[in-house]
A and B are shown apart, each in its own frame.
Chain A
Amino acid sequence: MSAPPTWLILGASSAIARAFARQAAAGGANILLAGRDDDDLQRTAADISTSYNVAARVEKFDAVDFAGHATLAASLADLDGVLNVALLFGIMPDQAAMDADPSLALACLDANVVGAISILHRLAPLLEARRAGTVIGFGSVAGDRGRLKNYIYGASKAALHTYLAGLRNRLGRSGVHVMTVKPGFVDTAMTFGLPGMFLVAQPSDVARACLAAAAQKRDIIYVPWFWWGIMTIICAIPERLFKRLKI
């Protein structure tokens, strides 16, 4: 019997990542939980191996420790079975705080853009050589248009969307599928207690939609799906008008 696939989950401490890891494991995949909070990830690894009878292991990973990215990628070269990657890390500092302290804005870009490109660009040759696998990158509806309330985070996600589109083109030639996910509001620690949340999705629903869409080799998905409609309307507003809105 061939070895089961493995999902490498980058930024595995978040609620969406936990739900995603569980559902991937329930489907029979081994799980690598990559993130900074080792103690907490060990708990999630225990949960997954106890619950689903698959191998689950923690990998030290920091989005902005770029040097460490090469080490992680190299350690995966000999992995048995198909390697899949879910990129779920990202930070969303308060826009006003970033306006007051531009270094926070740079930290956001460092983690969400530079960190993402750094790790995926090191994994790309590996995936090309293996000629199989799926990459799921988590962008955001915030990346579809620059809004007053969230445009640094939005810019970081727009950059990620563009990068993922290029990577999709590149890796597709080697049989590796890249999917961009644009979640709307999800009920996580990132959004808990924020004002103005509506139509909030549960992490497990987002994870389920992502795995189903990846199996169908979709390129870009909104989750929940209706955010496609909301963002189509928001993107259709003429800039002349949009620049006066506070949405």
Chain B
Amino acid sequence: MRKAERELAGWGRFPRARCDAARPERFAEAVAGFSASSAANGICLYGAGRSYGDCALNGGGTTLITSRLDRILAFDAATGIVQVEPGVDYRRLLEIFLPRGWLAPVTPGTGFATIGGAVALDVHGKNHERDGSLGQQVTELDLVSPDGSARTITPLDSDLFRATIGGVGLTGFITRIALRLARVPGGQVRVRTQRCADLDAFIAALQDAAGAAYTVGWIDGAARGSALGRGILETAEPIAGDFTQPPERARRVPVEFPAMALNRYSIAAFNEAYFRRVPAAGRTRDTPWRSFLYPLDALHDWNRIYGKRGFVQFQCVVPFEAGPRAVRELLEVISASHKASFLAVLKRMGAGRAGFLSFPMPGLTLALDFPRRPGIEELYARLCAITLNAGGRVYLAKDALLDAASFRLMYPEFSQFAEVRRSVDPDCRISHDMARRLRLQDAA
């Protein structure tokens, strides 16, 4: 397995880490390379680089890039269970299985994410309240431990399974995933779009839409005063019809934007235009699955818009009881800071989760991008404090700046995770920058 010194980053392009990276194309080579690793900082797994922060970065250690382990191994049309190598991505699942009437049951907002990474972060989608997290659809995993031993685990192996789903890659190398796809009646969804004038209207509209199959709210993070929390609510239902998707017309952001391109005025202008794009009376349109699920995938390398310094995404969930007040407080801090970027996302979450370190809890989830500028650490810490105070938590798939003490308070099942993790990797031969920052490998 050839290694090369590489600087890797997540989708936020902050932080960056220099490591010895290998990108095996053959299965046996990948497994052998994983268990032979003996770098001081251990080895970590990296898929497509679509998580935002440092959960797949391993400065000073070894990184095994799984993107070329990308084969679909089997599909059972009777049960809908597909078996894949970890580097298969959501785009490929959609390309191959949508024409047959099957879709990934749970998907994040980009089709470039790998299934291995999605399981390791127990991702959720716009249908979380109804369909739960991805890990709940996983029926089997092959897991290779750092000592090279391989085992197959199922939800019946409850502790190891729950430590591995959402376990940020720290219990072993997931080499095969079996998961249930979902039946869909056609290639399109009927999307209903409506404006919400302020936060109260928004939260009420989200509640009214709780029965919808898919729900997502775009919120204007720059709005203040009486417009605070205004945005656009999208709900969608699958519709019957044929499965063909229009050809993809992708564009690429050719260069890194200069730092000054994004400022409070350009962002406020963009958000205003985006808000006005939807007629005041709302509208209904039929949209192909691909553009509904992955609207930003048509703009390749969009993270370059944030320039060389990159950006940070903050995503939290707060329980329903404290939710509206906490979200208002978060938005007030954010809009006063003038640091928010384009649209943010506000939606409801249900209880579905499959791992000890899974993110979801019933409540409201808010996600915003911040260009990395001076003062961002303080702002992020403030947002974390408000979240914690409301009994919520921050999403590890997006995080680059949380502190270890807050992490412990946000994730009460950490002690169960820590116990299982220690039993499968006592010498911490797997590790990464997030594990060191959040002390994920300490005793409970």
The answer to whether A189 touches B23, judged by C-beta atoms less than 8 angstroms apart, is yes
The answer to whether A189 touches B27, judged by C-beta atoms less than 8 angstroms apart, is no
User: Which residues of chain A from 176 to 199 have a CB within 8 Å of any chain B CB?
Assistant: 188-189, 192-194
| Identity of the chain A residue whose Cβ is nearest the Cβ of B65 in the assembled complex | A192
Whole-angstrom distance between the Cβ of B95 and the nearest chain A Cβ: 9
The answer to whether A189 touches B72, judged by C-beta atoms less than 8 angstroms apart, is no
Whole-angstrom distance between the Cβ of B63 and the nearest chain A Cβ: 12
Whole-angstrom distance between the Cβ of B359 and the nearest chain A Cβ: 31
- Knowing A47-B71, A47-B73 touch, does A40 contact B24 (C-beta < 8 A)? no
The answer to whether A192 touches B26, judged by C-beta atoms less than 8 angstroms apart, is no
The answer to whether B73 touches A40, judged by C-beta atoms less than 8 angstroms apart, is no
Whole-angstrom distance between the Cβ of A90 and the nearest chain B Cβ: 15
Interface residue? B96 (CB, 8 A)? yes
B4: which of A43, A44, A193 is its contact (CB, 8 Å)? A193
| Identity of the chain B residue whose Cβ is nearest the Cβ of A189 in the assembled complex | B25
Whole-angstrom distance between the Cβ of A36 and the nearest chain B Cβ: 11
| Identity of the chain A residue whose Cβ is nearest the Cβ of B3 in the assembled complex | A193
Interface residue? B338 (CB, 8 A)? no
Residue of A37, A39, A43, A188 with highest tally of chain B CB at under 10 A? A43
Interface residue? B422 (CB, 8 A)? no
| Identity of the chain B residue whose Cβ is nearest the Cβ of A51 in the assembled complex | B96
Whole-angstrom distance between the Cβ of B18 and the nearest chain A Cβ: 13
Interface residue? B274 (CB, 8 A)? no
Interface size on B, residues (CB 8 A): 21
| Identity of the chain A residue whose Cβ is nearest the Cβ of B75 in the assembled complex | A50
- Distance A193 CA – B23 CA, assembled complex (angstroms): 9
- Distance A151 CA – B26 CA, assembled complex (angstroms): 28
Specify which chain B residues have a CB less than 8 angstroms from the CB of A189 in the assembled complex. Answer: 2, 23-25, 68
The answer to whether A14 touches B27, judged by C-beta atoms less than 8 angstroms apart, is no
The answer to whether A46 touches B25, judged by C-beta atoms less than 8 angstroms apart, is no
User: Which residues of chain A from 1 to 51 have a CB within 8 Å of any chain B CB?
Assistant: 13-15, 18, 37, 39-40, 43-44, 46-47, 50-51
- Distance A111 CA – B22 CA, assembled complex (angstroms): 25
Specify which chain A residues have a CB less than 8 angstroms from the CB of B78 in the assembled complex. Answer: none
- What are the interface flags for A87-129 relative to B under an 8 Å C-beta threshold, 1 for contact and 0 otherwise? 0000000000000000000000000000000000000000000
The answer to whether A192 touches B28, judged by C-beta atoms less than 8 angstroms apart, is no
The answer to whether B71 touches A188, judged by C-beta atoms less than 8 angstroms apart, is no
Specify which chain A residues have a CB less than 8 angstroms from the CB of B122 in the assembled complex. Answer: none
Whole-angstrom distance between the Cβ of A17 and the nearest chain B Cβ: 10
- What are the interface flags for B69-87 relative to A under an 8 Å C-beta threshold, 1 for contact and 0 otherwise? 0011111000000000100
| Identity of the chain A residue whose Cβ is nearest the Cβ of B88 in the assembled complex | A47
Specify which chain A residues have a CB less than 8 angstroms from the CB of B25 in the assembled complex. Answer: 13-15, 18, 188-189
Residue of A14, A50, A51, A188 with highest tally of chain B CB at under 10 A? A50
Specify which chain A residues have a CB less than 8 angstroms from the CB of B68 in the assembled complex. Answer: 15, 189
The answer to whether A40 touches B72, judged by C-beta atoms less than 8 angstroms apart, is no
B85: which of A15, A43, A192 is its contact (CB, 8 Å)? A43
- Knowing A192-B4, A193-B4 touch, does A51 contact B23 (C-beta < 8 A)? no
Chain A residues in the interface with B (C-beta under 8 A): 13-15, 18, 37, 39-40, 43-44, 46-47, 50-51, 188-189, 192-194
9 closest cross-chain pairs (CB), A and B: A193-B4, A47-B71, A40-B26, A51-B96, A189-B25, A43-B71, A47-B72, A46-B73, A50-B72
17 pairs of residues in contact across A and B, judged by CB atoms under 8 Å: A13-B25, A15-B68, A39-B28, A40-B26, A40-B27, A43-B27, A46-B72, A50-B72, A50-B73, A50-B74, A50-B96, A51-B72, A51-B96, A189-B24, A189-B25, A192-B2, A193-B2
